[in-house]
Structure 1
Amino acid sequence: MAGTVPHVKSALRTVELLDFFAQHPGLHSLTDIHGKLGYPKSSLHALLRTLVDLGWVETDATGTLYRIGMRALLVGATYIDGDAVVQLSRDALDWLAEATGETVHLARLDHSDVVYLATRASRHYLRPFSRVGRRLPASTTALGKAILATRDDEEVLRILPAELPRLTRNTIVDRDELLAELREIRERGYAIDREENTEGLRCFGVALRLTDPPRDAISCSIPVPRLTPDREQDIVACLIEARERIERLLMRERRAI
């Protein structure tokens, strides 16, 4: 029969359970997981025990609290190690971090979020520090807004949730306001996170034109007290140079194939 291939219930529940652990770090009881996912406790317990035996889930010493297991880390690391964009971006990210002295990131759009694929730390002490694998709403980050700005308004509205999440008092939560912001980004050529993700931290980002439409972006974060208009322009110039380095390298790789 034509149409969508039906999901295998056990596989779907396994993926949803692993997604739950990925989005909720730390230890969780069976009751807590049941309350969040709604699966019958008997089948949930059996699924958890199977995943524990296979290394995808771990328990505490009592065996009653659960968290994500080592197997998930190994699979995630394999994704990073095998990703062409991550590999091609390494030298440019190293250069960008050295040139700016600030924290820089590479991230990829995944539905309505961005997922961090690579990070280089600032030479200054900086909190918070976005780790590889962290997921944030695209609408709250310079990375995400830079990627969204490469789409037209209709596609952006399809990507974004009906209710935009608020992370700080500066976060844009009105969809029309966000669309207006994306139009400004298209004209300006780069995105700005004005303390919309973390108060006290401003971020600048540009999309990488490696696919059509782009799904990756690089960014540079800087604490507001260190930011001046001249500093902003220097950072943006470095971001554009880093993007060009990555894109030139990709073109050479493609010609060599």
Structure 2
Amino acid sequence: MSAADTGGSQVKSAVRTVELLEYFAGRPGMHSLAAVQEAVGYPKSSLYMLLRTLVELGWVETDATGTRYGIGVRALLVGTSYIDGDEVVAAARPTLDRLSDDTTETIHLARLDGTNVVYLATRQSQHHLRPFARVGRRLPAHSTSLGKALLATYTDDQVRGMLPPTLAALTEHTITDREALIEELHAVREQGYAVDREENTLGLRCFGIAIPYRTPARDAISCSVPVARLTPDHEQMIKDLLFDARDRLTLATRRL
């Protein structure tokens, strides 16, 4: 919904505020007023006043010149509050810790948000060679094992309604055709887990599995391993441990 579709000035202002914060959240760094105005399309004068208000409240920050803008510390505080208060994250902590210890690899818990997955919790690999990850990271669902595991809990027609016919390529291995992705989702449903074959990051393979405490699933866990360290035995162990973790998380979240 755009600000133009809202009924009153107060609602319009609220919508514009959220849209601005989402703009900054998706584009790290500092941005000029002209760049922000071009992206969001608001009148320059009202955009400037809204930005100044958000700066005063701590939701937006400026650089030393006062002419460039970026996300503020208040957004971090709200994001941290969301993670701290989430019942699934709390229930999953013991299982994530155990899975991390058993696999010695990087473990993620993520949630489907539209056509993306957002990372809610991470356990870093115990190895020197390990993937970069952070809580709050947002990635396209079609390019990750987490996202594919979650999309597989929807019907084919629902997936078609969610995703465009052509999907963005993050690497040369990313599935960019929606129908090809849907075919892979059939295999995901049959085998119970999804695989990211260097589709999001070159040199990295990930295995993901959905947590079925609701249908369609909202959350999933994954294990990421550098291809250089992945052997057939290690891969099978990871899959077995993910299924075990899924069963424990299903019990832990059954009342949520």
Question: What residue number does 1:70 align with?
Answer: 73
Q: Distance in 1 between matches of 2:215 and 2:129?
A: 34
Q: CA deviation at 1:126?
A: 4.0
Residue correspondence of structure 1 range 102-141 to structure 2 within 5 A: 102-126=105-129, 128-141=131-144
1:185 and 2:188 equivalent?
Answer: yes
Of the three residues 219, 224, 242, the one matched with 1:221 is 224
Q: What fraction of aligned residue pairs are identical, expressed as a percent?
A: 62
Q: Which residue of 2 aligns with 1:100?
A: 103
Work out whether 1:35 is the aligned partner of 2:38. yes
Q: Report the CA distance between 1:5 and its aligned residue.
A: 7.2
Is the contact between residue 168 and residue 195 of structure 1 (CA under 8 Å) also seen in structure 2? yes
Per-residue CA shift, 1:5-32, capped at 9, x if unaligned?
7472211111110001100001111011
- Residue identity matched to 2:198: E
- Alpha-carbon RMSD across the aligned residues, in angstroms, is 1.5
- Report the residue type matching 2:195 in the other structure: I
- Cα distance in 2 for residues equivalent to 1:57 and 1:162: 36
Which ranges in structure 1 are unaligned for 5 or more consecutive residues? none
2:20 is the counterpart of 1:17:
yes
Of residues 239, 242, 246 in structure 2, which corresponds to 1:243? 246
Residues 158 and 126 of structure 1: is their aligned pair in 2 closer, same or farther, counting only changes over 3 Å?
A: farther
**Residues 17-49 of structure 1: per-residue CA shift (max 9 Å, x gap):** 000110000111101111211211111111100
Question: Aligned partner of 2:207: which letter?
Answer: F
**C-alpha contact (below 8 Å) 1:143/1:217 kept by paired residues:** yes
- Distance in 2 separating the partners of 1:41 and 1:102: 48
**Whole-angstrom distance in 2 between the partners of 1:127 and 1:225:** 11
Aligned residue pairs total: 250
Q: Does 1:156 align with 2:159?
A: yes
In structure 2, what is the Cα distance between the partners aligned to 1:125 and 1:18? 35
- For structure 2, the residue ranges without an aligned partner over 5 or more in a row are none
Show CA shifts across 1:184-235 (max 9, x none): 1111110000000000000000000111211100000000011122211100
Q: TM-score, normalised by structure 2?
A: 0.94
Query: 4+ runs of 1 displaced by more than 3 Å?
Result: 4-7
1:82-127 Cα offsets, whole Å, 9 max, x none, are 1010000001001111100100000000000000000000011345
Instruction: Find the residue that maps to 2:253 and give its secondary structure.
Output: helix
Q: Distance in 1 between matches of 2:144 and 2:136?
A: 15
With over 3 angstroms needed to count, the CA separation of the structure-2 counterparts of 1:28 and 1:147, relative to structure 1, is same
CA contact (8 A) 2:204 2:225 kept: yes
Task: Find the counterpart in structure 2 of residue 88 from structure 1.
Answer: 91
